[in-house]
Amino acid sequence: MKKKNLSVKKKIHNFYSKKLSDPKIKKIYLNFKKKLSSHVPNNFCVAVSGGVDSLALSFLAKCYSLEKKQQVYFFIVDHKLRKNSTSEANLVKKKLKSFQISSQILTLKKIKKLKNLQSYARDNRYKLITKHSLNKKIDFILTAHHSDDLLENFFIRLLRGSGLRGLISFDRIKSKIKFEDKILILRPLLDVPKKDLIYLTKNTFNFYVEDPSNFDDKFLRAKVRKLISKLEEDGLTFGGFKLSLNNLSKSNKAIDYYVKKNINDNSNYLTLTKTFILKKNFFKQPDEIVFRSFSDLIQRVGKRNFYARGEKVENLLNDLKFSKKDIKKTLSGCVIQKIEKSVIISPENR
């Protein structure tokens, strides 16, 4: 290796080592390292938006890669939601390169105006990162979700009428993107408040891109963020929120246990046709157990990223329960048939 390259390498190591001498930054890094070590991500990438959170994550991931001598991939997604998204992506790539972080820009197709634009963009961003991760045999996608996101997501889902599973679904450090996906999302910063990530980024890279949609009231998340900020200004704290969320999570796990038991005891799976046949006792469990069991099987057979809408599932269950005639309906890629006393769930396109 040339002397110049050795000098640059030593300089960049010194930069990260010096920054980690800050007690606050070191504490965040040690927590981050513990999370990664616990979940053993053999090969992972970092989803970089250019915001203060993802750049804090990029710093931590770079420190980890230097310490462990492990290759880490950094993907910047040009979402095409704003006119200057491409120039922003190029600027973030250039800034990261100045800190010896090699990144790749992934470009989404321009999105037409949709009612739920942010959700659509998020889903397609994950699809794009997943596609490139599969090519590089990456096991984990690291995201910069933090404790403030946890609170915001809870309120958003509460306002949308989500049930218990929806309210606590974001509380997992590790989850799948799609139902049968081999790649997992890892959220190592879920217990870190945003203010700590702001401190980290400002005292390391001292650069980040501000997304104007964060302050645009046409998006529900921006409204919820302002609501939480106002409650905090009025003296309300959310110290007990995590405890409440943990209690809800325990209740959800108990329900999940009986959902799995209901599926195992009261349904038969036909491998050849990828079909479930539900026994009469499947529908004799408590309403929440039946609802979740039925939703899980529809998602599994239909191979959808998300569960079918609750209202549609409820209506279908009522039809199956009260109709005295045979029924044949479709939902989320499945054909659901009631033939005498049996209910059959099969793929719509076989």
Highest mean pLDDT pick, 39-53, 208-222, 257-271, 336-350:
257-271
Share of the chain above pLDDT 70, in %: 91
Residue 345 φ/ψ, nearest 5 degrees: -115, 115
Q: Are strands 184-186 and 174-176 parallel, antiparallel or unpaired?
A: antiparallel
Is residue 1 pLDDT above 80, yes or no?
no
Helix (H, G, I), strand (E, B) or coil at 125: helix
Q: Which two structure tokens, joined as six digits, stand for 101?
A: 């972080």
Tell me what the mean pLDDT of segment 233-261 comes to.
Answer: 86
- pLDDT at residue 76 in the model: 94
Predicted local confidence at residue 114, as pLDDT: 54
Which of the residue ranges 40-54, 102-116, 142-156, 308-322 would you say has the lowest mean pLDDT?
A: 102-116
Tokens of residue 27, six digits: 């504490």
pTM greater than 0.85: no
Kindly indicate the confidence band of residue 35, based on its pLDDT and cuts at 50, 70 and 90: very high
Segment 103-117, tens digit of pLDDT = 999 988 766 655 566
Structure tokens at 122: 């998020």
pLDDT (0 to 100) of residue 112: 63
- Please, which pLDDT band fits residue 8 given cuts at 50, 70 and 90? low
Is the pLDDT at 212 greater than 70? The verdict is: no
Secondary structure element (H or E) that encloses residue 312, with its range = helix 310-322
Cβ atoms 224, 159 nearer than 8 A: yes
Give mean pLDDT, residues 48-74. 94
Helix (H, G, I), strand (E, B) or coil at 348: coil
Rounded distance, CA 49 to CA 177, Å? 18
Sheet holding 72-78, edge to edge: 103-107, 72-78, 44-48, 140-142, 184-186, 174-176
pLDDT band at 127 (very low <50, low <70, confident <90, very high): confident
Confidence grade of residue 277 (pLDDT, cut at 50, 70, 90):
very high
Q: How far apart are CA 350 and CA 347, in angstroms?
A: 6
**What pLDDT score was predicted for residue 111?**
63
Which fold is adopted by the domain 3-238?
A: Rossmann fold (3.40.50)
Average pLDDT over residues 170-175: 79
**pLDDT above 90: residue 64:** yes
What are the sequence ranges of the domains in the chain?
3-238, 258-347
- pLDDT for residue 5 is more than 60: no
Mean pLDDT within 144-151:
90
What is the predicted pLDDT for the residue at 25?
97
Tens digits of residue pLDDT in 80-104 = 777 888 999 999 999 999 999 999 9
Question: pLDDT tens, 15-34?
Answer: 999 999 999 999 999 999 99
Q: What would the mean pLDDT of 299-317 be, rounded to a whole number?
A: 87
